[in-house]
Amino acid sequence: MWRLEPDQLINYTGVVMLHTFCIYPLTAFLYLTRFPEVEWKAAVHIAKWVLIYIGVEWVGYRLGYITYSHGWNCWWSLFFDVHMFLMLRFHHTKPVWSNPMTILSIFFYLILFGYLQRIHAP
C-alpha cells in the first residue's frame, strides 16, 4: 500500500530495517509508557501520536520518500494510524481479546484493497 523509498545514504533494505527495528518499536514504547489513565488525556495522547505519524508521513510523501499504490493515500494512513494506536493500547491492556480483533482488522484491509483478489487472479 505504501513504500518507503531509499536515498543516497541508505538503500531500501536499510530503510525498512531502520523502521522495523528502531522507529516503530521505540515509538510504541514511548506511546505505551506515557499513556495516561484519565480518559480525556488518553484521547489527547492518541491524537498527538496520530498527528506525529501522519505529519511525518505527509512530509515524507511530499519529499518523495514515501509512495502509495493500490488506492492508498494520506487519508487511509490517517485512518490506519488511529486504528493502529487504539489497537496498540488495546493489545497492551487486553492481549487475549485484541488478537481476534487484529485478525479481523487484517482481513478488513486485505479485502478492502483487493489484495486477496490479486493473489487468486490468474
Grouped pLDDT means (10 residues each) for the chain, 122 residues: 81 87 94 95 97 95 91 93 96 93 92 76 58
d(CA 42, CA 48): 10
pLDDT at residue 118, as a whole number: 66
pLDDT given for residue 97 in this prediction: 93
pLDDT at 105: 94
74 CB-near residues (< 8 Å, 6+ apart): 54, 57, 58, 61
pLDDT at 74: 93
